[in-house]
Amino acid sequence: MRPTGVPTAPLGPAAGAALRRFLDYLAVERGLAANTLSAYRRDLQRYAGWLAAAGVDDPALASEEDLVAFLGALRAGETPVGTRYRASSVARSLAAVRGFHRFLVRERLAGSDPSLDLGAPKVPSSLPKALSIEQVEALLGAVPGDDPRALRDRALLETLYAAGLRVSEATALDLDDVDLEDGSVRAFGKGSKERMVPLGRNARAALGAYLVRGRPTLARPRSGAALFLNAQGTRLTRQGCWKILRRHAGHAKLEAEVSPHVLRHSFATHLLAGGADIRSVQELLGHASLATTQVYTKVTQDRLREVYLRAHPRAREIRSNSPGTPRPAAPADSAAARAAGPKLSQPPRDREVRSPSPPTRRAQ
């Protein structure tokens, strides 16, 4: 049987007031970013709407059985665009619901937390997808022309990769967030946390050309201080950034899926492969927890193992003797391959930044 959407009903006054109070708390006291707030609002409106459809008009009266039934409806239902909810989406919804009920208890709007004994759903672990250095070079070299939009696109792609920015951070950049003389960019990450990230010479050159010959042509009276502008002269949106990246990935004939976050993954993976220490990469990415950054070490270790098994003659011999493992075809020039060694010492694009140290804050 084809899955159906999660049934919902209009929210009653109690549910609407509780949601507004919680979202205000997240915005004012927790300082969450606009995109994070939107995700919370979307998840909690669906939850409260489902409760209303089940006859529970006040979320403070929800039981553990109600939460279990809601999670079951998510797993069995489909999204508004007709796809199934992924395990990560169900886990995110549960995290939002947990936070909401904890808030209600803390504010004495509810007597108990029905999510207290619920276990977290298992989310399959997935490694970040990264482009090779050669693929990144092909992408960054695939922007044709020298008109204002081409200059903007080149500057945007160079900045995304050079600084490892999230798409929301890149599109939120203002003119005074970039210091070309100092070679740095100021990014505001999750929770409006500020960090300074170095920019290499290629990104500085692309940004300089855009600021001199591109942005003045795109700018309109309503442009304000936004760094990256669209054709209408307003701030480039996240969706606009995605379209730009996908268009030039097509120009570069890249078969791999390319997104702004793939460039961010590539930034981190290439730095670690080039010898950067994980603490520095954590600072550059703006991760609050080192555990979030450590997933990239797994990618790098897998790459090292692949290179080792392919290039080392004794490793090839050992692998060929393993039961059920076919012996790989020997390279045309094994000695030359061993002499050349893996291309892991090559730093990503900007050679002047070989092993970044934690960024320092600009003097106020």
What residues are annotated to the active site? 166, 190, 261, 264, 287, 296
Give residue for tokens 């990014």.
187
Q: Dig out the tokens for 204 from the structure.
A: 């500085």
Q: How far apart are the first and last CA of the chain?
A: 62
Rounded-to-integer distance, Cα 244 and Cα 247, Å:
5
Query: For the chain, where are the alpha helices, taking DSSP H only?
Result: 13-28, 34-53, 64-76, 87-106, 133-140, 148-163, 167-171, 201-209, 215-218, 238-251, 260-273, 278-285, 290-293, 295-311, 313-320, 334-340
Number of Cβ within a 10 Å radius of residue 278 = 16
Phi, psi of 103 (to 5 degrees): -65, -45
Q: Dig out the tokens for 31 from the structure.
A: 């300082």
Confirm if 263 and 245 have CB atoms less than 8 A apart: yes
